[in-house]
Amino acid sequence: MRNQEGSFIWVVVDGKIGHEKQSLALANSIARKRKINIIKIQRKSIIRIFVEFIYQYYKARKSIKKPDYIIGTGHGTHLNILTLQNLYGGRAVIIMKPTLPINWFDLCIIPKHDSVEPQAKVFLTEGAVVDGYNANRERDASKALILLGGPSKHFYWKCDDVLKQIKNIIDTNETLEFTISTSRRTPDKLRDKLINAYSNKATICLNYEDNWLEEQLSITKYTWVTMDSISMIYESISSGSNVLLINLPEKKSSKISREIERLITEKKLVMNEVNKKVNLSHFSEGIKISTAEQCAEYVLQRFK
């Protein structure tokens, strides 16, 4: 690796927030351990990558900031990463199980629930790559979050059933100050009903800035998450918050539902029971897991 100001991580992003968060979590964890600059690159056509390379090569050779690592999450980043690596160099590191052959990359960071056999270019994680850097911050025991996903291929989503559980959560925890946050998959029907029913009982956040969720999770003691959003579940656990699930019927057994069952068995999650009050008094401190830190240590050790 080049020293100090000469070292760079390129993060290829595909416009999906969950993918970008994982890539930046790894990049930021590496940057905390080594003095290194992070450059975010939007996914683009392969032709455009070649045109930019030719221009830089002939017109601006001295200003090319060659990467030490090129990181990306999701299938849409794979060809960009491989093309950039072939033109500029650096280690190609991808997060999530690739559709392309694993041997085409320098390292694939893959969650165990994807059932990939251990091999030379694979680093297996407990879940999504999330940053637990702020997990030790002091938490406000009066604050709670409700994080909502939406329809998915793994779970049935019924707006009325979700609303019923939200009502039970808020009504049975009157001492808590709730913030309810939706996501891009949350149906408009549910958003409208939330505003009408709970605008005077909770803070409703329909859109938020990039770092808003991380900041909220770092200070909130209790977080409820709908079962469909495994990335939000991992992020909430890693933050150190105590995490409870909003129940959704599963369509069939899947790697996501089996992973949730494992997390419940290991007491990293608690299932919210409809029409019952969850006893929050038995919670002490949330479990702090930083998969990003573990991955960063492995990357730096492997490629030192």
Percent of the chain with pLDDT over 90: 52
What CATH number should be reported for the domain whose range is 4-132+292-302?
3.40.50.2300
Q: What residue has token string 């938490």?
A: 139
Domain parsing of the chain, residue ranges = 4-132+292-302, 140-282
The pLDDT of residue 279: 67
The pLDDT of residue 166: 93
Q: Is the confidence at residue 1, as pLDDT, over 50? A: no
In Å, how far are 28, 178, 202, 274 from 193, measured between CA atoms? 38, 16, 13, 19
Query: What does the pLDDT average to over 25-36?
Result: 93
Query: Which residues, other chains included, contact 231 with Cβ-Cβ below 8 Å and sequence gap of 6+?
Result: 18, 21, 22, 128
Nearest to 257 by CA among 229, 237, 276, 285: 229
The pLDDT of residue 130: 81
Distance in angstroms (rounded) separating the CA atoms of residues 136 and 241:
10
Nearest to 84 by CA among 148, 24, 39: 39
pLDDT bracket for residue 61 (50, 70, 90): low
What CATH number should be reported for the domain whose range is 140-282?
3.40.50.2000
Query: Which of the pair, 231 or 154, is modelled with greater confidence?
Result: 154
**Mean pLDDT over all residues of the chain?**
87
Q: Is the confidence at residue 215, as pLDDT, over 70? A: yes
Q: What is the pLDDT of residues 138-149, one digit of tens each?
A: 778 899 999 999
Fold match flag (4-132+292-302 vs 140-282): yes
Query: What does the pLDDT average to over 33-62?
Result: 85
Distance in angstroms (rounded) separating the CA atoms of residues 12 and 29:
16
Distance in angstroms (rounded) separating the CA atoms of residues 144 and 219:
9
